[in-house]
Chains A and B, each alone.
Chain A
Amino acid sequence: MAQVIVVTSGKGGVGKTTSSAAFATGLAQRGKKTVVIDFDVGLRNLDLIMGVERRVVFDIVNVIQGEAKLNQALIRDKRVDGLSILPASQTRDKDALTREGVQGIIEELSKEFDYILCDSPAGIEKGALLALYFADAAVVVTNPEVSSVRDSDRILGVLQSKSKRAEEGKEPVKQHLLLTRYDPARVERGEMLKLDDVLEILAIPLLGVIPESESVLKASNSGNPVILDSDSPAGQAYADAVARFLGEEKPHRFIEAEKKKGFFGRLFGGRAA
């Protein structure tokens, strides 16, 4: 039975799709059969971030409406074994998604995959509600910024009241915080909310901190999920987060500002990557 994970945030532009692409790729790299579904019907973008935009033939709405079989709509990744992408429709509106349709797709995918990642659209309307409805676990993507933290809190409330698990009175959806675009230097200067502040306010377990990193833009430019850039801090931070999700103990990195090097450090230390 596959585990369903929703990647959500409430607010737009905080890194849901970047995180979904990285997380799905990371799970597949670790040998887990993983499918990542774009729920942003009308504004699909996961295909671009995954670099498969030229290969999209059918989408989730075609499958729901019986115009294509699920395995015809799945795009198999050419870089990582066991990774598939189910694109959103670009031309239909979000009412084309139905709960019954999504349920059918998730049930069918459960037979083949270990993990089903649902990349939620922003907001708390139909697409976002359907993306989280069937979730067993949630990765709440948050920026250290007031509006993002508030919207994350809002989406946590929705998870606790409107998910299938909540409606059926089952064990609640397991919540994980993924703090993205974190800049320890700005935190140190008192310009940005601290990790501890965000944790105190949202009060859910921390899955990982992704530092603000140039590699994220480079990754989206080229359509390679940033986790494939294993030299970059963001890529490493995502790999750590995936490991933690799978139960490994990993100390948190990239949460302290890099110390200014002393004379000898500058002389012999080289430049930190």
Chain B
Amino acid sequence: MNTRQMTVRDWLARSQSLIALLLMVIAMSLLSESFLTAENGLNILRQISVNLCLSIGMTLIILSGGIDLSVGAILALSGAVAAGVLKNGIAIPALDILLQFTVPGAIAAGILTGLLLGWFNGTVITRFRLPPFVATLGMFSIARGLTMLWTGGFPITGLGATFGFIGTGLFLGVPMPVWIGAGLVAVFVVLTRKTRFGRYLYAVGGNERAALLTGLRVNNVKVWVYTLGGGLAGVAGLLVTARLDSAQPNAGLGYELDSIAAVVIGGTSLSGGRGTIMGTVLGCLIIGVLNNGLFLLNVSPFWQQVIKGFVIIAAVAIDKANSKSDDA
């Protein structure tokens, strides 16, 4: 009985987002000629792909009952590390050698940085029992500082066309970031729905105490979740760096808020245990369509921010009402 109610509510949460998205798409296409074109559609998909990577990771983290405020900072540092090792290599003066990284090497370095930082987050949260808010706030500052140190405050530019391909290239007419985003969505939908790890995740997020009592290695799950979140932030960092052909020391500022917004709008509960990857995809789409549509209508970008704020509030209010009926 309980599982049935949960899936019905999940479906409700998901349909609300879907309905909102459909309404917006209809409204925008009526108001603007250039909205409903293939080029604009691909534009929207490309623009949400970075947020999508971050939001997938954020979904997992929020599902586990936690939060991660450092994803934007991890994005910046991963992108900077990848760009740095690709452009300048790593010099080891003691041995008089230079490790000149290749493009796959730089990509690996960037993702590894993200995984490492995420792992650090997870370890601090589980080992020292710090609230995720505090631990990731600390990591935010650490990662920002490290990015500044690594780049010296300057952007790292001129990374070459091969590296740039993952950000700007087209495959079968569709931008590479969209393919990467879609691939990640597929992987993580399978992870959350079909694997044991996914079930553990929902259990930990839904009721951590109960999960612990049934013998689940809750800490293990949490560390994995933050590590994956960090790795996904690393991928996002690579996408941003490749797209701009430069690693900016201030990349990703404010991205954590956008990813939390997408997760929340997509129907995931901030208290954990409820939500889906597809819901997050919808959340990203809603934000993307909103931004793009308002741009095409010449609405000031500052109004876009205001409207986005209202949408977040509305989504969370609906989510709260959902969870109230949960207890009832």
Same assembly: no
Chain A interface (Cβ within 8 Å of chain B)?
none
